[in-house]
């Protein structure tokens, strides 16, 4: 296993929720990263953000690691969940709530409901 793969594996397992994104959760550097970070922030999730713009090896390596071509990428309990479109769909359907609950990840259910109400 390469050093980059090992580093990514350690990052993915370092926290219950990890978001590989362009920029940081407080300063996203692309619209898709901003949307996913915005949802997670609004829902009050504690998560680790990994700025792929700060490390070219991680930026390419995460795509190879997940076999997913785009960033952002969300991991919950070490498992790849998806990118922006998938996270948006899961949020609106309530599937993200269920997955977080099943994995014992704390979040603000009322905030998640507000997101759905605003997008109904």
What ranges do the domains of the chain cover?
Answer: 3-118
Number of Cβ within a 10 Å radius of residue 13 = 12
Give the model confidence (pLDDT) of 67-92 as tens digits: 999 999 999 999 999 999 999 999 99
Number of Cβ within a 10 Å radius of residue 75 = 26
Report yes or no on whether pTM surpasses 0.85: yes
Residue 37 has pLDDT above 80, yes or no: yes
**For the domain 3-118, what is the CATH code?**
3.40.30.10
Residue 1 has pLDDT above 60, yes or no: no
Give the tokens for residue 31.
């619209």
């Amino acid at each position: 296993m390469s050093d980059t793969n090992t580093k990514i594996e350690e990052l993915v397992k370092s926290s219950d929720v990890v978001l590989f994104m362009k920029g940081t959760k407080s300063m996203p550097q692309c619209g898709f990263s901003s949307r996913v970070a915005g949802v997670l922030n609004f829902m009050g999730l504690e998560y680790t953000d990994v700025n792929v713009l700060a490390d070219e090896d991680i930026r390419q390596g995460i795509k190879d690691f997940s076999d997913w071509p785009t960033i952002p990428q969300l991991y919950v309990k070490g498992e790849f969940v998806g990118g922006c479109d998938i996270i948006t769909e899961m949020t609106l359907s309530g599937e993200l709530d269920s997955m977080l609950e099943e994995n014992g990840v704390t979040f603000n259910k009322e905030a998640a409901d507000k997101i759905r109400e605003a997008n109904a």
